[in-house]
Amino acid sequence: MCTTTGFIIETVIKLLVILLVFSALAGFATYIERKVLAFMQRRLGPMNVGPYGILQVLADGIKLFSKEDIVPQNSVKPIFKIAPIIAAASAFTAMAAIPFLPEFTIFGHTVQPIVADINVGVLYVLGVMAIGMYAPLLAGMASSNKWSLLGAARTVIQFLSFEVVTGLSIIAPLMMVGSLSLIDINDYQAGGMQNWLIWSQPIAFILFLLSGYAETNRTPFDLLEHEAEIVSGYATEYSGMRWGLFFIGEYANMFTVAFLVSIIFLGGYNPWGFIPGGIAILLKVSFFIFLFLWVRAAWPHVRPDQLMWLFWKVLMPIAVVNILITGLLLM
């Protein structure tokens, strides 16, 4: 019984830490995003609240919390209220199977920084993250607003496009590793930079990264809330903290994708030269978060038909050929 109690307490602490850390990081990432975009566009970005505008996050948070909560009269109210919760909940649920850091010891107690080490980790994370696409879909369909409905229709298109490429691109590296557990994938790449899967699977890496951008609704695939075309897409009718939950979900998903790419293709939390493993993975994740922002500053949006063309006619055949070649080489 004592071990069970200990296990429960440990799991609850892990859950709380993940929830708090990534909620805070989501807020902080908005500040970083505005700063990076500003520097790339030769502006200053937020400057007035605190030194270099660093307290802007707090100001935004106060604004979001104290804003009037509007539910449109003709909307389907229960679904309208559930949708933002799905966005945040699925994003954090997906994190349950990600090993964030290497094992470490605290007060003589070995901690594995993963909530649930299930042996189908990769599939679980991808599946639950994909469920997050229900949030914009339900939001758009429940708002009874034409722009929102267009956003919902685009959600379906996007979901049906990226889901195939995500699955097919990840198969090739998984065939080499022979396991679906993220810890096994990480251990497979132990022993230095030359063992990283990106060198043997560069095509899978690019495909997975592209579908990760579509999965998190980031530019160039952010057609769900394309300001210039459909006002704000699915989020048009949302305000205050309900909108904030969508936002937290999106940023939490960005971190999930960054962690996934780092673990699957870039050696995860193995020591990188003289850099210890824990810091190595944080460096990789920071780079991918920066890449998300960099791409947003540098690339235009795509149209829905271009998205479908890209994923179904270009990326999917490449992914299939990649699996075929990997299979032939492994034989």
The one segment of 105-113, 152-160, 208-216, 290-298 that binds other proteins by CB under 8 A: 152-160
For residues 88 and 79, what is the distance between their CA atoms, to the nearest angstrom? 15
Among 19, 123, 177, 323, the residue binding other proteins under the rule CB under 8 A is: 123
Nearer to other proteins, 133 or 261 (CB): 133
Check binding of 171 to other proteins (CB under 8 A).
no
Query: Encoding tokens for residue 135?
Result: 């949030």
Check binding of 309 to other proteins (CB under 8 A).
no
Check binding of 75 to other proteins (CB under 8 A).
yes
Check binding of 134 to other proteins (CB under 8 A).
yes
Chain position carrying tokens 């990076």: 36
Check binding of 130 to other proteins (CB under 8 A).
yes
The one segment of 12-20, 129-137, 202-210, 246-254 that binds other proteins by CB under 8 A: 129-137
Are the CB atoms for 156 and 108 separated by under 8 Å?
Answer: no
Nearer to other proteins, 19 or 156 (CB): 156
Nearer to other proteins, 159 or 272 (CB): 159
Nearer to other proteins, 64 or 130 (CB): 130
For residues 15 and 35, what is the distance between their CA atoms, to the nearest angstrom? 30
Nearer to other proteins, 102 or 132 (CB): 132
For residues 269 and 262, what is the distance between their CA atoms, to the nearest angstrom? 8
Binding residues for other proteins, per CB under 8 A? 74-76, 78-79, 82, 118-120, 123-124, 126-128, 130-131, 133-134, 137-138, 141-142, 144, 149, 152-153, 156, 159-160, 163, 167, 179-180
